[in-house]
Amino acid sequence: MGRFPDPADGQPSMQDATPQHCDILVVGGGPAGSTAAALLAGRGWRVLQLEKDRHPRFHIGESLLPANLPLLQELGVLDAVRGIGLVKRGADFPSGAPGGYSTFRFEDVLGDTPDHAFQVRRDQFDALLFDHARTCGVDARDGLRVEQVAFVGDDVVADCRGDDGARISVRARYLVDASGRDTFLGSRFGSKRRNRRHASAALFAHFDGVARRPGEDAGNISIYRFDFGWAWFIPLPDGLMSIGVVAGPEHFRRRRGDQADFLLDTLRSHPEAGPRLEGAALASPVHATGNYSYACRRMAGPRWLMVGDAWAFVDPIFSSGVFLAMHSARLAVDVVDGSLRAPARERALQRGFQRRVRRGVRAFSWFIYRFNTPAMRHLLAHPTDAFELRRGVISMLAGDVFDSRPVRRRLLAFKAIHGLFSLATLRQRLLQARRHRRQAPAAVERDGIGSGAA
Segment 312-355, tens digit of pLDDT = 998 888 889 999 999 999 999 999 999 999 999 999 999 999 99
Give per-residue burial for 94-115: e unless 16+ CB within 10 Å, then b: bbeeeeebbebbbebbbeebbe
Is 424 a residue whose pLDDT tops 70? yes
Task: Estimate to the nearest angstrom the gap between the alpha carbon of 314 and the chain centroid.
Answer: 7
Of 262-276, 356-370, 416-430, minimum mean pLDDT range = 416-430
pLDDT, residue 367, reads 85
Of 103-117, 328-342, 378-392, minimum mean pLDDT range = 378-392
| Number of domains observed in the structure of the chain | 1
Note the helical H segments in 197-345.
Answer: 249-252, 259-268, 321-341
- Domain-embedded: residue 270: no
Distance from C-alpha of 8 to C-alpha of 153, rounded to nearest angstrom = 10
Q: Are 205 and 234 in contact (CB under 8 A)?
A: no
Q: Are 73 and 35 in contact (CB under 8 A)?
A: no
pLDDT, residue 293, reads 83
Cβ neighbours of residue 255 closer than 8 Å, sequence gap 6 or more:
262, 446
- Domain-embedded: residue 372: no
- Domain-embedded: residue 32: yes
- Domain-embedded: residue 34: yes
DSSP string, 192-236: EEE-GGG--EEEEEEEES----SGGGGG-EEEEEETTEEEEEEE-
Distance from C-alpha of 392 to C-alpha of 110, rounded to nearest angstrom = 7
Q: Which residue has the higher pLDDT, 423 or 16?
A: 423
Is 163 a residue whose pLDDT tops 50? yes
As separate numbers, helices (DSSP H) first and strands (DSSP E) second, the chain gives 13, 23
Segment 174-192, tens digit of pLDDT = 999 999 999 999 999 999 9
Q: Helix or strand or coil: residue 313? A: strand
Distance from C-alpha of 321 to C-alpha of 30, rounded to nearest angstrom = 12
| Residue 249 pLDDT grade (very low, low, confident, very high; cuts 50, 70, 90) | confident
CATH code of 134's domain: 3.50.50.60
pLDDT, residue 435, reads 66
Cα distances (Å, whole numbers) of residue 231 to 38, 59, 153, 226:
34, 17, 49, 8
Burial bucket for residue 161 (CB in 10 Å: 0-12, 13-18, 19+) = middle
| Residue 411 pLDDT grade (very low, low, confident, very high; cuts 50, 70, 90) | confident
**Which domain range does residue 314 map to?**
7-57+122-194+294-360
DSSP state of 238: G
Percent share of the chain, pLDDT over 70: 88
- Domain-embedded: residue 106: no
Task: Estimate to the nearest angstrom the gap between the alpha carbon of 202 and the chain centroid.
Answer: 14
Strand partners, 192: 296
Distance from C-alpha of 282 to C-alpha of 275, rounded to nearest angstrom = 15
- Domain-embedded: residue 315: yes
- Domain-embedded: residue 52: yes
**Which amino acid is located at 342 in the chain?**
A
Is 15 a residue whose pLDDT tops 50? no
Average pLDDT over residues 132-141: 98
- Domain-embedded: residue 15: yes
Segment 252-288, tens digit of pLDDT = 888 888 999 999 999 999 999 999 999 999 999 999 8
- For residue 116, give the nearest of 35, 219, 239, 213 by alpha carbon: 219
Q: Which residue has the higher pLDDT, 426 or 78?
A: 78
Task: Work out the mean pLDDT of the chain and round it to a whole number.
Answer: 87
- Residues written for the chain: 454
Average pLDDT over residues 391-418: 87
